[in-house]
Amino acid sequence: MINLQQLGFESFIQGDLDIYNKGYRVTENFKAVELIWKLKDIAPRNFQDGGHGFIGINPWITLRDLEKYCESAKHMQFLFDLFHFGNGLVLYDSCLPIYQKLKKDGLLVGYKTDLDRWRFKDKNVLRFINDFHNGLGYKT
């Protein structure tokens, strides 16, 4: 039995891996996916896929990155049960380096809740996502 559990691909966009200081290249993620596909082909009845960590959209994502994000989702369908744009950045603590980066970049939005929120650096990204959710879809 081949049982994969919670693999941390995180992202197929190098900018994400860099922002979050993951310390590896996106090419390594693609190699891992190729290996998983091979394992699945070798033992389809004995293959269980338990899920994958994935960075969703974040405050610094660009329209070009969004295109890559959508393409990743299309080509890596077995990694995604349901593709949707979601907040991939949860701010658990104000001591986190990513929290401090948001604050420095002026993207932090304070709320009277346990978790703060953020805004996109590029307002066109927000417009695109709103259009996507309002049924206009994704067009390259």
Residue 89 CA to residue 32 CA, distance in Å, equals: 23
Share of the chain above pLDDT 90, in %: 4
pTM over 0.85: no
Residue 13 near residue 69 (C-beta atoms within 8 A): yes
Residue 70 has pLDDT above 70, yes or no: yes
- Confidence bin at 74 (pLDDT 50/70/90): low
Average predicted confidence (pLDDT) for the chain: 76
Residue 85 CA to residue 126 CA, distance in Å, equals: 11
